[in-house]
Chains A and B, each alone.
Chain A
Amino acid sequence: MENTAKKFNMPLLLVEVIVILLGLLFLVPFYFLLGNSVKSYSEILSDSAALPSVFQWSNYAEAWKAIDFPHAFLNSFMITVISNILLAFLCSMCAYKMVRNNSLYNRLLYIALVAAMVIPFQAIMIPLVQVVSGLGVMDSTAGLILAYLGFGAPMTVFLFHGFVKSVPLDIEEASRVDGNSPYGTFFRIVLPLMQPIIVTVIILNTLWIWNDYLMPSLILQDPGLRTIPIATYSFFGQYTKQWDLALPGLVLGITPVVIFFLAMQKYIIEGIAQGSVKG
């Protein structure tokens, strides 16, 4: 008995050691990034693997100014939050009606949305800029949000659509009997039931919109409107090889999303597992 127990535990411990080593290997890039972000330029060049001998925090102050971090953060934040709220709101309404009202238009729309999920962004980007400027919202936050609402719709509606199908009709009928209007039924009864999928949708769209570079780079030009990826890109272009500025800039750039992840980890992991079951 003793022997078999040992036989079972030894490999498990070995497995644990191996995965921990692999985990450390996964963290090495962060070590390089953080460690070198506080070194002087000459120290980065002489040895980037060693720990910093002096902590030169002024790197961060300079990068903060050069990247105009508060503005970039605020822009990214506003665009992500507003796009998310509107996408979740409008697409849940749309998906709900599409499931409950099986009209020809709704069936065609569903097919079009599902088909559009495989359209790569590059296939629409050239005329998209034209359409956005035709609508007079080029180089504005509103224009970018509009673009996210359209391009995010297929995936978002698809996720909601799959979920609404599992919401039992009886509840809605009961709500109608209680005197709720169709709108009241949706907002008071159905929408609260959709909470799990709303969390999933918001997480997937946040990771996408927050990190997106190409769409804002095509729509926004005013430096005051820059999001974090855009600001980082132009900053990096300006200070190529000036690592003592570029690295703290990158640390600033990744900090908000890493904090968001660590704070919301439980929901994010669940949301992804959920979303993949539906997808």
Chain B
Amino acid sequence: MDHRKRSRLMQQFIFVGPTSLFFFMIVLIPFFLGLYYSFTSWNGISRHVEWTGLRNYLHIFTKDPSFLHSFWFTAKFTFFGLVLTNLLGFALAYVLTRKLFTRNVLRTVFFVPHVIGGLLLGFIWQFIFVRGFSSIGQATGWSFFNLPWLGTGGTAFWAIVIVFVWQNAGYLMVIYISAINNVPKSLLEASKVDGAGRFQALRHVTIPLVMPAVTVCLFLSISWSFKLFDLNLSLTKGGPFKATESVALNIYNEAYTISRFGMGSAKAMIFFVIVALISLLQVRATKKREVEL
């Protein structure tokens, strides 16, 4: 019996051990270390780490308008990013589940931007906003293209939204397509027999049945947009004058541009709490609206 117990322990060790170890080393320990640093004024280099209590947090909420601004920017961005990617993703999925000749090619076209990382996309679009748009503007005379897209805070905000939607709508489309394909044909036919039109069928049959996919897509798009970093870094670098600095970028600059690791950690903890809260609230809210078949 003792032998058996030992063998069980050995199995647990071999199967679960390595992943546990890496997870502790890379995620849990740094997370708690970060929590500790958030109460200090550590600069990342000195051996001496001074405990400052809640001073960092107080500073952030009372004397750091750039952080609060980055929060406001990120919240606004999340809202528009989320609404537009989901609307477009769902509309594309809805249309591309109909019998179109070019259905498969178009699915590929809409998905392709997603496989390219945000960093490279940002650079590509930087060219388009700076040079491409002005050429189109000259050719067409449309003032829309002659705006200083990356030059003012307001337009740069929309520039990032445009690229974000272009990058991610196709991914959500894929999820919505598989959800729409899973809606039983019999239900749609029954609604037709009952005299429902296309829109009524969409509203009362399709949409309630794809709510689980909506949960997933909202979760994904919130998480992407709230953690916006790569695209932000390469497209606007937070500029002009920090107008488009996301929270993630603000934390990064705090730590690596001005070397305030303690302050950066405090910001990161606030960021974590908010991300966690949003995720919880959001999953709970949409779970309620799901329909069981």
Give the interface of A toward B (CB within 8 A): 12, 15-16, 19-20, 22-23, 26-27, 29, 32-33, 36, 44-45, 47-50, 90-91, 93-94, 96-98, 101, 103, 105-106, 109, 112-113, 115-116, 118-128, 130-131, 135, 146-147, 149-151, 153-154, 157, 182-183, 186, 207, 210-214, 229, 232-233, 236, 243, 246-247, 250, 253-254, 257-258, 260-262, 265, 268-269, 272-273, 276-277, 279
Contact = CB atoms under 8 A, between A and B. Distances in A.
Nearest to B255: A126
B114 to A, nearest CB: 8
B272 interface: yes
The binding surface of chain A is classed by DSSP as: helix
Interface stretch (B58-66, B96-104, B285-293): B96-104
B23 A116 contact: yes
A48 B132 contact: yes
9 contacts: A97-B16, A112-B23, A121-B227, A131-B25, A150-B25, A207-B115, A210-B117, A269-B174, A276-B217
A80 B28 CA distance: 23
Given A26-B109, A126-B37, A229 B120 contact: yes
B205 to A, nearest CB: 19
Contacts, number: 265
Given A93-B16, A122-B247, A151-B27, 19 more contacts: A15-B95, A32-B127, A90-B18, A116-B27, A118-B223, A125-B268, A126-B34, A126-B265, A127-B31, A127-B33, A128-B26, A150-B27, A183-B11, A211-B230, A213-B117, A213-B230, A232-B120, A246-B123, A250-B120
Nearest to A272: B174
A122 B268 contact: yes
A98 B16 contact: yes
B209 interface: no
A261 B28 contact: no
B178 A273 contact: yes
B128 A32 contact: yes
A122 to B, nearest CB: 5
B73 interface: no
Interface in B32-69: 33-34, 37, 44
A278 to B, nearest CB: 9
Given A97-B11, A126-B261, A19 B25 contact: no
Interface string B82-112: 0000000000100110111110011111111
A245 to B, nearest CB: 12
B276 interface: yes
Contact of B26 (A44, A91, A146): A146
Nearest to B20: A109
B31 A119 contact: yes
B126 to A, nearest CB: 9
Contacts of A123: 31, 34, 268-269, 271-272
B109 A229 contact: no
A243 B135 contact: no
A36 B127 contact: yes
Contacts of B92: 19, 22
Contacts of A125: 30, 252, 255, 268
A15 B99 CA distance: 10
B176 to A, nearest CB: 10
Contacts of B234: 233, 236
A162 B190 CA distance: 34
B15 A232 contact: no
A96 to B, nearest CB: 7
A45 B134 CA distance: 10
Interface in B110-150: 110-120, 123-125, 127-128, 131-132, 134-136, 138-139
Contacts of B25: 131, 135, 146, 150
Nearest to A20: B102
Contacts of B105: 23
A130 B127 contact: no
B95 A47 contact: no
B247 to A, nearest CB: 8
B199 interface: no
B33 A106 contact: no
A33 B23 contact: no
Given A19-B100, A210-B117, A229-B120, A124 B30 contact: yes
Contacts of B100: 12, 15-16, 19
B19 interface: yes
A39 B113 CA distance: 23
A120 B227 contact: yes
A113 to B, nearest CB: 7
B248 to A, nearest CB: 5
B43 to A, nearest CB: 11
Nearest to B31: A124
B138 to A, nearest CB: 8
